[in-house]
Structure 1
Amino acid sequence: MTLLHLPSESRELYAYRPRTEPAAHAGAPTTPGEPRRRVVYAAAHVVADPFRTAADRPAALDWEATLAFRRHLWSHGLGVAEAMDTAQRGMGLDWAGAAELIRRSSAEARAEGGRIVCGVSTDQLRPTGFGHPYDLADIRAAYEEQLAVVEEAGSRAVLMASRALAAVAKGPEDYLEVYGHLLRQATGPVVLHWLGPMFDPALEGYWGSTDLDAATDTFLEVIAAHPGKVDGVKISLLDAGREVELRRRLPDGVRCYTGDDFHYPELIAGDDRGFSHALLGVFDPLAPLAARAVRLLDDDDDDGDSGGGTGTGGVAGFRALLDPTVELSRHLFGAPTRHYKTGVVLLAWLAGHQSHFTMVGGLHSARSLPHLARAYELADRIGLFPDPALAAARVRQLLSVYGV
């Protein structure tokens, strides 16, 4: 394959020779079913309708391509985490679009026999130029409206962090009141999501404090007060040590789903005191490779949910496959972290999962050309593309649009 000349951050072009053959893990799934020892969700992106405008409301999606991508994830044995921040909740995907996405994806999951959880938030509440014209009762009602949509669709809910609650809560007691009310109302166990301000600056001080130790205590108090109502917690703080400490304090039967896109191999592999399951945005582009890696833990972790799989076979193979992906993930999730979706959608286009590189809200322009070029190079080096020639051809098209 001929050389590509990619732009660097210093504005210079450098030569890169793309792969000529796909890696073994880039193709169709070879093992049916879900992994046995870890519950693994990929937070899935949405495919925009390229013939509609960024200002359309509800957000215009290409439904065929969006649902086809979810079938791709299920085919590899991964669950789908739907209508979450990877799907541009609060960054282009409005509540009306998210509600339709939840209904359609939940129906598709039933037809495919796929695992699914769906995000519940309060993004139908809008601040005005004069501040936040809502109170805790409005926030409860907004959560309840969305929780009803998810439950009526037959899916499990993920109670996402709320910008509205972060804006009006006066302290930990308000979080305890709102989440307690929702957990009492939920018809089944839910997943609680703690999203850090690196993903959304509006969530600074969530759980009532900027002191993470105090916030953790409030978070755990919510869980302890409602036994049987929390399936698990998704932790997205990009702090591996804090996640390990928190998961060791969880009540029995409550899973920790890592949302740490910087340290996921070590957190999923675990240690002799436990491990994290996964609910990760980076598992959207990494799906075939991630599924293959996590299945290796099945061979090495025969003690159910109590151990970390510390033998040499499965864990060693798991780390050998997944560790090389971390450089790509850290690049995609580099500051400003909230724009990681741009790289995720780029890689979906390069992999052939969609016919264009266009995003809801016009966010395909949120990253620079050198950033996108580096994402392609890192993905190609680890053999992420099922058709390396197609990926290289599309990169050439992108470079041409930018005048390179």
Structure 2
Amino acid sequence: MEPVAANLRLRLLESITDVSATDWDALTGPAAPPFVRHAWLAAMEESGSATKETGWEPQHLTLWRGKKLVAASPAYRKHHSMGEYIYDFAWAGAAERLGIEYYPKLVVGAPLSPATSARFLIAPGEDVPTLRLALIQAAVESAKESGCSSVHFLYPLEEEAALLEEQGLARRITLQFHWKNPGYRSYDDYLSRFDSKRRSQLKRERGAAATQGITVRTVRGAELGLEHARRAYRFYEATCASRGPWGQVQLTEDFFVRAFQAMPEQVELVQAERGGEVIAGAFNLVTAERLYGRYWGCFEEHPFLHFHVCLYHSVEESIQAGRQVFEPGAGGEHKISRGFEPTAVHSAHLIFHRTLDRAVRDFLHREHAHLSPAVEQAEQLAGLKPWPPPGR
């Protein structure tokens, strides 16, 4: 392939391990979300969770100046639409009706990780605008050359999504529900934003564990071991089994083992224990600023246990740690009434078949028209009082 910009060479990686962790992570920076770090992507691929055989064929975009890696985007040729959480199943159905092969498609993003993070990883000191444009060009050209129907940038930063739209891709905005810390000093501060009825409900739901003989705590750092990685997989597997055909197991146990070993400073496991036995838990990831909820599971069903393990416990710990945002993952309108606010997440799409591309753009235009009313409805349902309260 011809150079995408002066003095740059494009190299497509068939595995993230084709580049060193040092070179890749020099682009992400130390404060980056875990999902774009070399260790996370390597755990996905080397564990057999994100491979060509599972429909995630690595095709990472890397730009080099001589022997120096100056820019990259994690990317995969996808042979299905599972594990993306920006749903395009209807688009694939429309393609089939038009006689168009929708798969493979090129997805720029991290496998099975519905969290916003930079999709254009640029080395410090480099020309960011030029290299972002070069990566977009590389994505489009490599997708066409490898027989993909389309290019999809999933969960880019808002500024990246705006640039992608400027470059002719169709921008999509969907909603997640995030807890945001406006400066709480305690869990009681968080509760004070609800009216008395809702406040009593949250206290009752969180307090149910004590009456059930259940304790909840977070395991982190040096305490984490192989048993916790395997337990996290069992939680994930149990949840998948409870969701019928939509609960496809896509991650292997080896992924959890590798992630726990490679990223102990960013992995946490919330455990619910009863009678000396672990009965439920949640696998989370952390940075200094954010908590990311990923997978929950339980071996015993108890009322409100899910809310306590996955929401309330982590909200309190986020307040104590001074974190600004808690992202509990995709979906879950039940989060709204518990103080999680509607938050825009972005994606950008380019389909090479003009008829299908035009139909998708028409759909996105109609979908966007419903966005503001949906946000307003969610905010009314949340009913959060202003913060800080008058007089503070």
Which category of TM-score, normalised to the shorter sequence, fits these structures?
Answer: under 0.3
User: Which has a greater percent of strand?
Assistant: 2
Q: Greater CA radius of gyration, 1 or 2?
A: 2
TM-score, normalised to structure 2, is 0.26
Q: Which has the higher helix share?
A: 1
Normalised TM-score (structure 1): 0.26
